[in-house]
């Protein structure tokens, strides 16, 4: 039995105790309109729980994919941040999970590419209350805990965001996923 600690900066601290919660995945997702999602074709592969992730790709020549050797044993929560300075009215977004390990496998373990599950979230209406500096751009954060968004694994698939009205299409959502290794 061994523990592998991977740190991103020289000032990182190894002093945590027990099973500490860590950030294991960050991504920025585009919010598609219904027509835009259809035009985009296959939804992106972007929601792993095992690393290195076999679907990983990086454009600068450094290989990122490989046979998984570390798994997130306890995904705990997902934080979403809508990248819009204001919403005049509440707006609903659908998170589409495709080719998930949980629902997208047949009895032989083969991915069923046509299975897509979803959850919906409605962002509240808001206006930034600050007027100067970084306070002029306030972006809402939503936390998903205990539900399917943080538990579902899509090592062979991913998540696409769809605007269920006509307000969110073309915006982005920052996603941060937390868990225990």
pLDDT at 110: 77
Domain extents in the chain: 22-180
Answer whether 12's CB lies under 8 Å from 158's CB.
no
What is each CA distance from 113 to 41, 80, 104, 116, 161, in whole angstroms? Answer: 12, 25, 7, 8, 17
pLDDT at 15: 63
Distance CA 74, CA 21 (A): 9
- pLDDT tens-digit profile, the chain (181 residues): 666 777 777 776 666 566 778 888 899 999 999 888 876 666 778 888 887 777 776 666 666 677 777 778 788 899 999 999 889 999 999 998 888 777 767 788 777 767 788 889 999 999 888 778 778 788 899 998 767 667 777 877 889 999 999 899 999 999 999 988 7
- Would strands 158-163 and 22-32 be described as parallel, antiparallel, or unpaired? parallel
pLDDT at 75: 87
pLDDT at 36: 86
pLDDT at 124: 93
Eight-class DSSP state of 125: P
**Does residue 148 sit in helix, strand or coil?**
helix
Taking Cα atoms as reference points, which of 71, 98, 73, 93 lies closest to residue 82?
93
């Amino acid at each position: 039995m061994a523990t592998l600690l991977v740190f991103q900066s020289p000032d990182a601290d190894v002093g945590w105790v027990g099973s500490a919660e860590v950030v294991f995945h960050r991504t920025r997702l585009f919010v598609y309109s219904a027509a835009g999602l259809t035009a985009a074709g296959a939804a992106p592969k972007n929601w792993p729980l095992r690393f290195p992730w076999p679907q990983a790709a990086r454009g600068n020549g450094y290989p990122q994919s490989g046979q998984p050797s570390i798994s997130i044993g306890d995904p705990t929560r997902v934080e979403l941040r809508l990248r819009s300075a204001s919403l005049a009215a509440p707006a609903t977004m659908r998170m589409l999970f495709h080719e998930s390990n949980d629902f997208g496998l047949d009895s032989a373990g083969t991915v069923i590419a046509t299975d897509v599950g979803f959850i919906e979230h409605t962002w509240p209406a808001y206006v930034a209350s600050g007027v100067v500096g970084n306070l002029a751009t306030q972006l809402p954060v939503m936390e998903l805990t205990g539900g399917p968004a943080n538990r579902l694994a899509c090592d062979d698939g991913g998540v696409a965001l769809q605007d269920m009205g006509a307000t969110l299409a073309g915006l982005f959502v920052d996603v941060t996923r937390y868990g225990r290794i």
